[in-house]
Structure 1
């Protein structure tokens, strides 16, 4: 049997598949256990993040002035995967008229893996480089489409997905464009850049970013909507199944000790996973067969 309960304990681990998370709380640190922290270039500032972001995502954001500001994180093996999801809050504050487009995020460039950029028309662009049966470097490039411009001065939640069949762009949890893009993403030895073109330089972004997340998998549309609405991809609701095996969980949520009275018969193994309020595992307790009596109270 497998029982999952929730507590308000401090977050210790990450969402499944989450390999980078830049919260920009006065720094460019990676909030995942990988600790792939970014180095800040230029003089970006930190200011209040999106006021409409879900609870837990409403701290500070990094603000680039469009003039030599950037963040650069080292290449890391956990960032290399066949499929990916990239999500972030963004506010456009202006345009760099010296360049055709500003680079928002770049990992391996259009010629190596993927990039996210903003041309003068303000329709955000998702570019991927993948390998398939026909081409070793299949480049796919699309923007968010007419009517989906990132209007200056407003916060938007952007999610980019490559699932091996399509590239998909979501704005505020809703799909706005997709493009056939068969294949697995190519690997890269380049660093991960934010706010500028990390390969050739320049093409600086003028605006703010917050809660940049990279996953090593393609999120579903349901997960993307949960991510926009709650700040996490969440976990499956197993309330009905839990009611069939649980008599009491008290207190729930809890911070130090939780009591569980179960309805399981003797001779069953049991794994209890302890989750935080965001649905992420922070602990686990394993009971082997015959170690737990039927209906026993666990504390």
Structure 2
């Protein structure tokens, strides 16, 4: 696949090329308007970061859309035969609909599938509502299966090693797509649903090798457990993927068109779009890889740009893993903020305020609900700060805090709040004990923010007024018209 774009109405070369893939995300850089022309056959955003192929020994994407064969994209050549199924639109591209009676995909024996003490099975499925339990997803096919994943009183992983052992989780909701993954590493069986670990079961010993191939959608001998619904993207690995890899695999196939857009990258030292939507990690896409850790269960919600995090105002925090020790003379912190109607005294949106003499913080003005200011420690006291500004409860506002060599500034929705400008001549003394965080900005705790936060960025320089305006307007809107082959991104 090649993607071409126009920049400032001039044709440019392709920015991607090579093998088509439907996994991953776009990351575009700049403060420009781009128009991307994509081959019309592409129906979802294509890869910058491809899904993990390390150890992949079987991969049936079901994208043929016609015929009785489905290719193995792992490189092992274990192509499948399709029987009594219907080609359908899938979670990504095409999928197969299984009729709950006699539908099956069969792939022949291959020694690459003889896995003894390390395995991962991954599948996307959408089970018909009311179709009942005892539904087979996939297994290594013999009378006594070597390894399998199916629905029987819940979502279940099964191994024969040498006796049968199951690892069970509550069955996910019917009628919607789910990503089911199970792993075994010689010590534990684990089952994940939609990127989240749901159960760990102790297990030891080698998996029995039975000589059969792979069956998807039914246990053909003697015809047990026919699945009813859609199955897509079946993968088998010869190793146990890590929790991080499974989350990446889930996110890489999220099928969305709105992706990470990095505007104004110069000086960007931290950027958390918060678009994961699942799990306990918020990735830093600035290139510095200071990935955030969710503590005390901030919840994933619909945000201003894709997903966001909601903070409970009691104890939920995201720790971004860095104190920004090299930021002293200039800084910009940008975020979309949607505060709740009640707040703790001194509630912090972000920061790492330490002992009144170190770090940075955006905090509520004492007990005045949703009136905020931002400040920093200069090693002597907490005397350098902006003036106050008000945020409207339950409303998204783009909030930017800036320090240059002379002043502290605040911008709301791209406009400087002149009344909030403060004298800030002295340098920032970075915090030494608390990492930069969202939902709490005070090392002593007890100042938790109630509300939603999205798209946090930190720069090691003061953005100009025009850059702030561009950042506010960027919005990250991405549109793909598959029939015309046009992907337009305004950033």
TM-score of Structure 1 vs Structure 2, range by shorter chain:
0.5 to 0.7
Distance (Å, rounded) in 2 between the aligned partners of 1:77 and 1:103: 23
1:8 matched to 2:8? The reply is no
SS of alignment partner, residue 144 of structure 2: helix
Deviation at residue 111 of structure 1 after TM alignment: 3.0
Deviation at residue 112 of structure 1 after TM alignment: 4.0
Distance (Å, rounded) in 1 between the aligned partners of 2:183 and 2:76: 22
Alignment RMSD, CA only? Answer: 2.6
When normalised by structure 2's length, the TM-score is 0.40
1:125 matched to 2:156? The reply is yes
1:138 matched to 2:163? The reply is yes
Counting only pairs closer than 5 Å after superposition, residues 167-178 of structure 1 correspond to structure 2 as 167-178=189-200
Deviation at residue 95 of structure 1 after TM alignment: 5.3
SS of alignment partner, residue 64 of structure 1: strand
- Select which of 55, 58, 79 maps to 1:37: 79
Distance (Å, rounded) in 1 between the aligned partners of 2:141 and 2:202: 21
Distance (Å, rounded) in 1 between the aligned partners of 2:203 and 2:196: 19
| Cα pair distance change 1:115/1:197, threshold 3 Å | same
1:18 matched to 2:59? The reply is no
| Cα pair distance change 1:185/1:202, threshold 3 Å | closer
Residue 109 of structure 1 contacts residue 115 of structure 1 at CA under 8 Å; is this kept in 2?
no
Counting only pairs closer than 5 Å after superposition, residues 112-261 of structure 1 correspond to structure 2 as 112-119=145-152, 121=153, 123-130=154-161, 137-145=162-170, 149-231=171-253
- Unmatched 5+ stretches in structure 2: 1-14, 22-49, 255-284, 289-491
Residue 121 of structure 2 contacts residue 149 of structure 2 at CA under 8 Å; is this kept in 1?
no
1:101 matched to 2:137? The reply is no
1:77 matched to 2:111? The reply is yes
Distance (Å, rounded) in 2 between the aligned partners of 1:105 and 1:32: 17
Q: How many residue pairs are counted as aligned between the two chains?
A: 210
Residue 82 of structure 2 contacts residue 105 of structure 2 at CA under 8 Å; is this kept in 1?
yes
Residue 161 of structure 1 contacts residue 219 of structure 1 at CA under 8 Å; is this kept in 2?
yes
Q: Name the larger-Rg structure.
A: 2
Deviation at residue 110 of structure 1 after TM alignment: 7.9
Residue 143 of structure 2 contacts residue 221 of structure 2 at CA under 8 Å; is this kept in 1?
no
SS of alignment partner, residue 164 of structure 1: coil
**Structure with higher RCO (Cα < 8 A, 6+ apart):** 1
1:111 matched to 2:136? The reply is no
Deviation at residue 142 of structure 1 after TM alignment: 2.3
